[in-house]
Chain A
Amino acid sequence: MSLAVLADAALVLLVLGLALWINAASRAFPAVVGYVAFGLLLALAWLRLSAGDVAMTEAAVGSGVTGAVLIAASVRLRAAETEAPPLAAAPPALPLRLLALLLSGLVTAALAGLVLWTTGPAPSLADQAVQHLPGLGMGNAVTGVLIAYRALDTLLEKVVLLLALMGIWSLAKDRYWGGIPGPSRIQPTNGALILLARLLPPIGIVVAVYILWVGAAEPGGAFQGGAILAAMWLLVMLAGLRDAPAISRPWVRLCVTVGPAAFIAVGLTGFALPNGFLSYPDSIAKPLIIAVESVLTLSIAVILGLLVAGPPEQEP
């Protein structure tokens, strides 16, 4: 057995062990911490599956910002964990648990069977994807898929992000509308956190810009860069060095909408070209894509940060 197989087996065992822990842990906070670790290990799994872009996204978004949201929630709900029904939910009866176990087992068995016994060559679009990359001036096929081949999905997904943000904001009480997210202003008292929030953001911004730029040819891109920027911004807010912005501020509205708006605008100008909506002219494809991605990165960063910050709970 080669070392690689052993390493893979160890990783899989760790991942499955954490999955069991997440389900079985008695309290929420340990389960959430387990989830963050789970996400980071999954990022390693993605690297083993030769998916660098996905590994970065999983680490930054899947484990990072998702973990931040879940940790904050588990802390705020800590008092509720010791409650009993009817304030807390009652565990389902044994027949229901058995039924759920049966269903889950069936699904796992079906999927495992399909994984093990799929025969024949795997169908793949890699050839076609790589074939058209030089015309776009790109080297990273995943970025090509996201920005060019399946750009409609990316565009609609930006709208999904905006709707999610609006949905979270809609949960504010009327008197807090337009106000500042978070239960109270964070005071800068934690020295270590303040030091980190002063040291890391400049480095983080450079790394984010680099990842955005290099995403055209190597793993990276708008989502990953945007997530890093969001993380830096969240660090600054959590340390108390800057307050979360009031959601009625014009710059907030502008930053979250400029990315999707630019993407839609560039898409519509495609109607003037022979290939129609969301096509890029060969001559300026790469600069145009980089420009759109840059604006998208800004919007993604602000949206992700605000999604973590939550609905306004303080008056403007």
Chain B
Amino acid sequence: MIAHAALLVLAIILPAAGVVLALAAGGRGAERVAMAVIAGGAAIALAIAGTLWTTGAPLSYVIGGWAPPLGIALRADGLSAFLLLTSALVIGAIGLFARATYVQPAGTPERRAPLVFWIMLMGVWTGLNAVWLAGDLFSLYVALELLTFSAVPLVSLEGKPETLAAALRYMLFALIGSILYLLGCALLYGGYGTLDIVLLSRLARPEPVVFVALALMTAGLAAKTALFPLHLWLPPAHAGAPAAASALLSALVVKGSFILTVRLWFDALPGIAGGGAAQFMAALGSAAIIVGSVLALRQARLKLMIAYSTVAQIGYLFFLFPLAGAAGDWERLAWTGGIMQLVAHAVAKAAMFMAAGLIGEALGHDRIAGFAGLGRSLPVVMFAFGLAGMSLMGLPPSGGFVAKAMLLTASIGEGQWWWAVVIMIGGLLAAGYMFRVLTPALAGGAAPVILAARISSARQAIVLGLAICALLLGLMPLRPSALLEVGRTMQAAEVK
């Protein structure tokens, strides 16, 4: 199995090498390197997931032969497999979609935007795979920095004044978050002499140093995940970025810090945070759902509406804390539901932002009021938009429905029915802001809108393809996923 475990290293090193090579090659070389990395990264993700699926056992790799606590180990469990596959799919789609925009014609002097975009795309992927695989809290800090430094320039890529301000605000929020996380790491190392997740899970006890560390780290990561009320930086940043970058930021980047929070609460320091803290996190998530959805309803511009929708959909993820923190049947269902929400949102939101980008290019603006009759001029794009919207609303068949149904069932099964109420309200509100866009666009009888620019069918196909993936995720059975249970600490706790 050594060859398979080495894939964990390659999952991180391939995009990292891509960043270095793209900067060295410059110009057209950067896009070629990115395409090669997308292909290679997809293959690696499939191989790792396939290995976990067939063997049913997690993978781990010790770097340089230096075992923790002195060294660093990479670990892949079922959650890592899901996330590796999702990242590869979404980044692949975004990369192919962006080829038309970030083009470096042959024989011309090197352009700024394409080089920056391809390098940052691979930088984000390096950070994401490092978050999914690293087994050491300080390595995870470096991974968070990889994500921040790649994501912030993507927000300001077009150089418009409002995007520069949004990028600066994002940077400052992200910096505070990183330093608070690092402060927690210092406390944990001071208490136990290691930052390895598995070792910490055995050593950590419910004592003051752990409580303070967990509080600080969760606060810092919540700022980076834009959990209410620390969500203020997200809408202008995600809406101001170019379409491909918005897709990347909303679908994947913001999930990195979330998964880190999950790793902390469930894997590194299991059973430390009490039920009250978990309820508090989910309460903030509920507030995010309500506030985010209501604000999305009031937006005049499409990209801002989608960005507020991200704030809302992130709220659902925080139901994992009260619902999935133990090893029972309902808890396993909630675990699968929460992770499916993450995956389904990633796929659907990426498709939606890319569709919004195409709409903006075609119309020359993205004011929702001017969308009447758009369905006849841009049928494929609006269809894809509608499919993605179905997932966000939680309508069957879609990944979003599967996720929300599982979370709903688990919350009722565990006797925490109040989350079910929030999920239902959230679904209604999501229907509200989605139909606000879809109804005028698909209304019969409206004259077709005259388009300002022609959109290539290849890009429409990519967006449609990704939206169909969001649909296909709905084929997942409504019970706990076996793959997601591979190597799960909670499951191990039950076995003990």
A and B held together in a complex: yes
Instruction: Let me know if A2 is at the binding interface, CB within 8 A.
Output: no
Q: Report chain B residues within 8 Å CB of A271.
A: 6
B101-151 interface with A by 8 A CB criterion: 109-113, 115-116, 119-120, 123, 126, 130, 134, 138-139, 142-143, 145-146, 149-150
Cβ–Cβ contact A118 & B64, under 8 A:
no
Return the CB mask of B199-213 against A: 1 if under 8 Å, else 0.
000000000110010
Nearest 3 A/B pairs, CB to CB: A123-B193, A275-B65, A167-B153
**Whole-angstrom CA separation of A148 from B64 in the bound complex:** 7
Contact indicator A159/B64 (Cβ below 8 Å) = no
Hey, which chain A residues are within 8 Å of B66, CB to CB? 132, 148-150
User: Across the interface, do B139 and A107 meet the contact criterion of CB distance under 8 Å?
Assistant: no
Is B20 an interface residue when CB atoms closer than 8 A count as contact? yes
| Least Cβ–Cβ distance between A142 and chain B, in angstroms | 13
Rounded to whole angstroms, the CA-CA distance of A150 and B216 in the bound complex is: 24
B432 at interface, CB cutoff 8 A: no
**Binary contact track A143-178/B, C-beta < 8 Å → 1, others 0:** 000001111110111011011101101111110011
When chains A and B are docked, how far (Å) is the Cα of A271 from the Cα of B192?
Answer: 32
Indicate whether B156 reaches chain A with its CB closer than 8 angstroms.
Answer: yes
Residues of chain B contacted by A124 (CB below 8 angstroms): 193
What are 7 of the A-B contact pairs (CB < 8 Å)? Answer: A149-B70, A159-B20, A160-B142, A160-B145, A160-B146, A178-B110, A261-B24
A1 contacts chain B at the CB level, 8 A cutoff? no
Q: Which of B70, B109, B113, B120 contacts A125 (CB 8 A)?
A: B70
Contact in complex: A159, B216 (CB < 8 Å): no
Verify A277–B6 contact, CB threshold 8 A: yes
CB B392 to nearest CB in A, in angstroms, measures 31
A278 and B149 form a contact (CB under 8 A): no
- Do the beta carbons of A153 and B6 come within 8 Å of each other? no
From residue A110, how far is it (CB to closest CB) to chain B in Å? 5
Q: In residues 230-265 of chain A, which contact B (Cβ within 8 Å)?
A: 248, 253-254, 256-257, 260-261, 264
Interchain nearest-CB distance for A42 vs B (Å): 16
Q: Looking across the interface, which residue of chain A has its beta carbon closest to that of B130?
A: A156
Query: Which residues from A are CB-within-8-Å of B70?
Result: 125, 128-129, 132, 149
Task: Label chain A's interface by main secondary structure.
Answer: helix
Cβ contact within 8 Å between B208 and A264: no
CB contact under 8 A between A156 and B120, given known A178-B109, A253-B26, A276-B64: no
With known contacts A125-B70, A150-B71, A159-B16, A170–B116 Cβ distance under 8 A: yes
A191 interfacial contact with B, CB 8 Å: no
Q: Is B50 an interface residue (CB 8 A)?
A: no
Check A86 for interface membership: any CB of B closer than 8 A. Answer: no
Interfacial chain B residues near A118, Cβ < 8 Å: 190-191, 209
Kindly state the separation between the CA atoms of A177 and B183 in the bound complex, as whole angstroms: 38
Bound CA span A114–B187, Å: 9
Number of A interface residues at 8 Å Cβ cutoff, please give it: 56
Neighbouring B residues of A151 by C-beta, 8 Å:
63-64
Q: Is the CB of A159 within 8 A of B126?
A: yes
A62 to B139, CA, bound (A): 21
**Residue in B63, B119, B126, B193 whose CB lies within 8 Å of A278:** B63
- Residues in chain B near residue A157, CB distance under 8 A: 142, 145
Tell me the smallest distance from the CB of B218 to a CB of chain A, in Å: 13
B142 and A166 within 8 A (CB): no
> Most chain-A CB neighbours within 10 Å: which of B13, B26, B216?
B13
Contact: A155 with B111, CB < 8 Å? no
Contacts A174-B111, A174-B159, A276-B64; A149 near B71 (Cβ below 8 A)? yes
A292 to chain B minimum Cβ distance, whole angstroms, is: 13
The verdict on A268 contacting chain B, using a C-beta distance below 8 Å, is yes
In the bound assembly, the distance between CA atoms of A217 and B478 in angstroms comes to: 60
**A interface residues, Cβ below 8 angstroms from B:** 107, 110-111, 113-114, 118, 122-125, 128-129, 132, 148-153, 155-157, 159-160, 162-164, 166-167, 169-174, 177-178, 248, 253-254, 256-257, 260-261, 264, 267-268, 270-271, 274-280
Question: Residues 19-44 of chain B: 1 if any A CB is under 8 Å from the residue's CB, otherwise 0?
Answer: 11101101000000000000000000
Please tell me if B157 contacts chain A, counting CB pairs below 8 Å: yes
CB-based A-B contact count at 8 angstroms? 167
CB pair B20–A152 under 8 Å, yes or no, is: no
A264 to B20, CA, bound (A): 10
A257 and B13 form a contact (CB under 8 A):
no
Contacts A150-B72, A153-B142, A156-B130; A162 near B23 (Cβ below 8 A): yes
Complex contact B20–A111 (CB within 8 A) = no
Indicate if the CB atoms of A156 and B142 lie closer than 8 Å: yes
Given contact pairs A152-B134, A174-B111, A271-B6, enumerate 11 new A-B contacts (beta carbons under 8 Å). Answer: A129-B70, A152-B72, A159-B123, A160-B145, A171-B153, A253-B24, A276-B2, A276-B9, A276-B61, A277-B13, A277-B64
- Is the beta-carbon distance between B208 and A114 smaller than 8 angstroms? yes
Q: Within the assembled complex, what's the spacing in Å between the Cα atoms of A167 and B146?
A: 12
Given contacts A114-B208, A163-B120, A173-B159, contact A275 B23 (CB under 8 A): no
Known contacts being A118-B190, A153-B142, A270-B64, is A167 close to B152, with CB within 8 Å? yes
Question: When chains A and B are docked, how far (Å) is the Cα of A150 from the Cα of B143?
Answer: 14
Q: State how many angstroms separate the Cβ of B454 from the closest Cβ of chain A.
A: 24
B138 contacts across to A, CB distance below 8 A: 150, 153
Cα(A172)–Cα(B130), bound, Å: 29
Interface check B341, CB cutoff 8 A: no
Alpha-carbon separation in the docked complex, A264 to B14 (Å): 10
Docked complex Cα distance between A264 and B153 (Å) = 24
CB-nearest residue of chain B relative to A264?
B17
Q: Is the CB of A170 within 8 A of B157?
A: yes
| B194 close to chain A: CB less than 8 A | yes
| A277-B63 contact in complex given A253-B24, A260-B20, C-beta closer than 8 Å | yes
CB distance from B37 to the nearest CB of A (A): 13
Separation of A248 and B70 alpha carbons in the complex (Å): 41
Q: Decide: A279 and B65 in contact? CB cutoff 8 A.
A: yes
B139 in contact with A114 (CB, 8 Å): no
B20 touches A261 (CB 8 A): yes
Residues of chain A within 8 A (CB-CB) of B12 are: 156
Tell me if A257 and B24 are in contact (CB < 8 A): yes
For residue B69, CB closer than 8 A to chain A, the reply is yes
Known: A118-B209, A129-B70. A267 touches B13 (CB 8 A): yes
When the two chains form their complex, are residues A123 and B192 in contact, meaning their CB atoms are under 8 A apart?
A: yes
